[in-house]
Structure 1
Amino acid sequence: MAYDEDLEALNAETPADLRDPGEVFIPADSVYRWDAVGAHRETYAGLPVAEPDVIDHHHNPDPARFAWSLSDGDLLPELRDLLRRVDGSQIQALVVTGSDAHKAPEVLAAHAHRLPRLRSLFLGFIEPEYCEISWIRQGDITPVLEAFPRLERLDVRGSEGLLLRPVRHEHLTVLRFETGGLPGHVVRALSACELPALEHVELWLGVANYGGDATVGDLEGILSGAGLPALRRLGLRDSEIQDDMAAAVATAPVVARLEALSLSMGMLSDTGAEALLDGQPLTHLRHLDLHHHFLSEGMAARIRSALPGVDVDLSEPQPRDERYVAVSE
C-alpha cells in the first residue's frame, strides 16, 4: 500500500476532527492523534504530519507538502539529515515531537538561514495519552520568534521550564499554549509583546498545582488589546479562576472587536456567567465557547436567550458539586 493510502486508511479507522485549532476552538481530546506505531493521524497547519522516513516512500517529495516531524531526543542530527535530503528553503511547517523540547528553539534558531519559508512550528507535539501534559519540558521560546520573523504560527504544548521575553513580531497570526498550568511570568511577557498581525491567541491557563499561577492582572495587555490590533479570536481556557476571567472579559476593551471567544474547559460557574451577562454586549460574536462548564440549566438557558444570533457551545456540562478543569496533569 502506498504511503498516502496507508495514512488515509489509518485516518478512516479513527476519524480526526478536521477543524484546525488555529482557526477555531475545539475540545482538548480532538486536537492531535497518533496511531499504535507512531504515525500522526492529524494534520498540522493544513499539512499532513510526516516522519522523515516519508522520503523513503516518495520519490523526491515536495518539502512544502508536509509538516516535518523531528524527535526532541535526536533533534539536531534529525534536522541536519532532513536538510541534507530535502530542500529546507521550501519547508513550511515543523513539529518537534516528544516530551522534552527545551533545546528546540536554540537549535532551530541556529539553522534559521536554512529554513527561510518556515511558517508554522509546534513544540511538544505529543498526544497526552502517551505523555502527561505536565511532563512536557519546554525552554525559552523567544529565540524562535527572533530568528524567524516570517513565522505565522506557533503552538506550544507543556509548560515545565517555559520562558518568554517580550518581543515584537510582525507576522505571527496564531499563538497557542496548551498547558495544565501556564506560568504567570509567561502571560505577563505575552501581554507586553507587540504582535500586530496576531488573530488567534489561545491560552490553556491550568491550575496552580501545575504552575498555572497567572492572574487576571497578568492579562492586562491582552485584554486591553493595545499590542494586538488584529486579534479576532481569544481563548482563555482551562482555568480554575474561570469566573474571575469571565468578569474581566465582561469589561475588557478587546472584546468589542472579537468574532470568537472561548472561556471553556475551566471551572466556570453561574457567578462567572452572570458577570458575562451583566457586562458589555456579546451579540456581535459569531462563536462563544463555554464547553466543559458548571452552569445550572437555568443559567445556560439565560445565555442562549441573551445571545440568539451567536453560536454558543454549552456542551459537556459537569456535576456542580465538585469543580475541576479539563486539563491539568
Structure 2
Amino acid sequence: MTTDLVAAVDIGGTKVAGALVDGTGDLLHRVQGPTRARESAENVLRAVTDVVTQLTEHELWHRVVAVGIGSAGPVDARNGTVSPVNIPAWREFPLVEGVRKTTGALPINLVGDGAAIAAGEHWTGAARGRSNALCMVVSTGVGGGLIVDGRLRPGPTGNAGHIGHISVDFNGDLCPCGGRGCVERIASGTNIARYALAAGWRPAEPDGDVTAAGVAAAAAAGDPIALAAYDRSARALAAGIAATATLVEIETVVVGGGVSQAGEVLFGPLRRALGEFATLPFVRNLEVAPAQLGTDAGLVGAAAACWSDPDTFLIRGEAGN
C-alpha cells in the first residue's frame, strides 16, 4: 500500500456511496446518494456520476491514482458492463465507460459487490490474516466473494463467489435471476420478511416494522413464526456455504449485511445447520464470524480490489516514471 489514494464507489440497489481511500483503508472523504434503481438507465448512471463528481471536487482528488467500483451484479469486468438483478434498467450497461467521462484517464477497476466486500474484510476486517475465506453480504440480496491462497479471486468477469445464486432447492421458487431455489430467494432480508408475512406473522404494533429487522426482533422475543423464518434463511445459507467450501476448501466464512445484524438469531441456526451440511472432514470445522467493516465494507473493498489488481499497479508504476 502507498500514500496515494483510490476513489472507491459502492453501487447497491438503494444507495451509491463514494469515498477517497488511503493505503491503510481509511476513508478520508465520504459521500452518498440514492441509486434511483427503478428509474431509467441514464438516471441511475447520473446517480453514480453525481457521487463521483463530488469526489472529484474534493481538495485531495489530485492524489487519486485509480478508481475502484464495486457494483451489485452480475458484472462483466472484461467489458466494463453491469447487469444488476436489483437495477432493472441496467442490462449489459456500460458502467465503466459512463464513469470514465467523469474521471478521465484514471484506470478503473470493476468488481462485483461481493468480491469488493471480500477484499475489504480480508484487508482490514474479520478475514484479515486468513488464507482461504468466503465473505458474504446478506441484505436485500445475497452476495459473496472468495479469498483463495491469501488473495482475492474475483474470476474473469468479477463475479466469482456469487453465492446468492447457487441453487439450494431445484424445485424452489423462481428467482429474479432466472434460476430456481437460489440462496438469495430464500435467505435475503426481503425473502425472510416475505416468508414470515405469508406464514401469518405480524408485528406487535399495527404500524410496526415488517422488514427482516422486525422479524429478527420478534424472533429474539421468541415468536415461533419469526424463528422459523430465520431458521429457513440460515439453512439456505448453510447449504450454499457448504457447497462452496466443498469446492474450494475455505476455512472461514464472514457474514455481513443488514440481516447479519440479527446476531445470534441468524448465527445460532447458521452454525447448527452447517453441522448438518458441512460433514466431510475438510469442511467440518468452518469458522463463522460476523463482518467487521459495516456499511463501509463495499468502499474499503472496492479500494482494496483496486490496489490488488496487477494492471492498476502497472499503470501507477508507469505514471510514476
TM-score by length of 2: 0.29
Larger helix proportion of the pair: 2
